[in-house]
Structure formats: structure tokens, C-alpha cells
Amino acid sequence: MKKIDMIHFLQRLSQAFLHAIFPPRCLICSAYYNCRSDLAGTGASDWVSDLTAPYFCESCREGLLQIASPFCSRCGLPFVSREGDNHTCSECLLEKKYYRRARTFGVYDGSLMEAIHLLKYRKKTSLSRPLSALARETFLQFWDINTIDLLVSVPLHVKRLRERGFNQAHLLIRNWAKQDGIPLDSLTLSRGRWTEPQTTLSRAERRKNIKGAFTVRHPKTIKSRKVLLVDDVYTTGATVNECARVLMKAGAEFVDVLTLARAIIS
């Protein structure tokens, strides 16, 4: 057996021993579970299970609904029909998008929605580690690292940042930005105007509510940069589109969007 294989074997053996004595507790539902035996048979794809097995039980892993083709080649919206290839959806044909393309990990429902709610509203920041891992793997699936030279998180208004204590979008990328050597800027894009919570607003109201809310403090930081804009949830896209608009106005070469979850609006 090769030395590296032996090391991996011993690491897995050690982990199995620890889990037998101290079984992990699901960060979403708080149930105790057997990490290794639960790994097989889950409905999530292999890489999703591998990344989340140390944090989520089998039931919660099965509730992670990953988005797959066919979806809109511009905004990433999954199509109802599971036949055919990726193509541009009707909304993107009719409405101007300032970003080049948007991609997401999964549907904003089930376990993923619960995890995001626990992170944002219950301040369960331990969830940032598995959610960040899902965001990073999604990034690696759709982008070559060398095609992005700046990561920007969608900012919170200072009032909301004080209330929450953290920006969940920043938590999703701070670790792997350093790991992959991609510069991260969490200060240049600013949310200068307070906006009403978007959750209860219609699509048109969201666009009106968010218009003019963001500014770029230091345009030189953005000029000619290939920007990946990151947020936790894409609902109507009004927020990321407005962010992309001001980033492009500041001179970005292009803006792409990565979100952890995508709300499916009927």
C-alpha cells in the first residue's frame, strides 16, 4: 500500500473510531447519526454526500435538491421540463441582465433553505463551513479559477450587519478565497441605502426597492476586473442584477454570479 493511501486509510479509521464513540450531530435537525453508514444510499450526488456527511444526517442530505441541466444559460433558472439542452429563458430574453451568467448549487427549499435560515436568523455560524464547501464546489464546476480575479460578496446595510453580526455571503467565500488564492473584496461594493426586506415584495417591487441601493466606493479596485459576485439566495435576481449594474458601470470587464440557493417562483 502506498504511503499516501495508508495515511488516508488511517485517517478514515480514526474518524470511524471517533464517530463510534462520539456520533456526529446533524447541524440542521440536531439528530445524532452514523456518518459512515449513512453515507451510502443518500439521494444527494456523491460529491454532495462526501462534503456534507460530516455535518448533515442522511435525511437532511436527501433534502439538498441540487440544480441540474437543463437550466437557463444566462440566469441559471432550472426548467420544468427535464428534456433538452440549456438555453436562454424568456425572462432573460425580455429583461436586461448586467451580469454575464449566474449559477447556483441548489433549490431554495427543504434542507438547504432550513440551513440558510439557521445561519442567517438563528446565527448558527457553524453551518458556514459545509455551506461554503457546497458553494466552492459549485464554483469549480462552472468556472476555471483563472477566469476570475476578484470575489465580491453582496453587502448588507450597516444596520442589518450590526443586527446580524456577520454577512452570510461573505462567510460563504472567505475560506476558499484564501484557499484558491483569489482576491476577496468585501468593502468596495457598499449598500448605502436602507431597503425593505425583499421577501414579501413582488418582482416589480423588488426592482424598485433595490434601485440605487448599491455604490462602488473605489472604482479603481473594480476597473478591468473579472468579478464573481456571491450571495446566499437568488430569488428574482433584482439584487444581484443591481449589484452587477454598478460594478459594470465602475469598469468591471464582466460580472458573473454565484449563489448557494435559487428560489423557484411559480
Q: What is the pLDDT of residues 191-203, one digit of tens each?
A: 987 676 666 667 6
- Mean of per-residue pLDDT scores for the chain: 88
Where along the chain do its domains lie? 3-62, 90-262
Round to the nearest angstrom and report the end-to-end CA distance of the chain: 54
Per-residue confidence at 41, pLDDT binned at 50, 70, 90? very low
pLDDT at residue 212 in the model = 82
The DSSP output letter for 84 is S
Per-residue confidence at 132, pLDDT binned at 50, 70, 90? very high
pLDDT above 50: residue 204: yes
Cα 82 to Cα 92, 102, 143, 209, distances in angstroms: 19, 19, 23, 34
User: What number of helices (H) and strands (E) belong to the chain?
Assistant: 12, 7
> Quick one: which of 97, 96, 98, 116 has its CA closest to 107?
116
Q: What are phi and psi of 214, to 5 degrees?
A: -115, 145
The DSSP output letter for 97 is -
Residues contacting 262, CB < 8 A, separation 6+: 67, 76, 77, 78, 104, 106, 107, 108, 233, 234
Is 240 exposed, middle or buried, given 0-12, 13-18 or 19+ CB atoms closer than 10 A? Answer: buried
Three-class HEC string of 197-216: CHHHCCHHHHHHHHCCCEEE
As given in the structure block, the three cell numbers for residue 33 are 447519526
Q: What are phi and psi of 16, to 5 degrees?
A: -65, -40
pLDDT above 50: residue 37: no
pLDDT at residue 129 in the model = 96
Q: 90-262: which CATH architecture?
A: 3-Layer(aba) Sandwich (3.40)
- The residue among 14 and 76 whose pLDDT is bigger is 76
pLDDT at residue 6 in the model = 61
pLDDT at residue 46 in the model = 82
pLDDT digits (tens, 9 = 90+) for 44-99: 568 898 899 999 999 999 999 999 999 999 999 999 887 889 999 999 999 999 99
H-only helix segments in the chain: 3-21, 35-39, 46-52, 58-62, 90-94, 110-121, 128-142, 158-164, 168-180, 203-210, 219-222, 238-249
**Taking residues 160-180, what's their average pLDDT?**
93
pLDDT above 70: residue 16: no
Q: What share of the chain in percent tops pLDDT 70?
A: 84
As given in the structure block, the three cell numbers for residue 2 are 502506498
pTM, two decimals, is 0.87
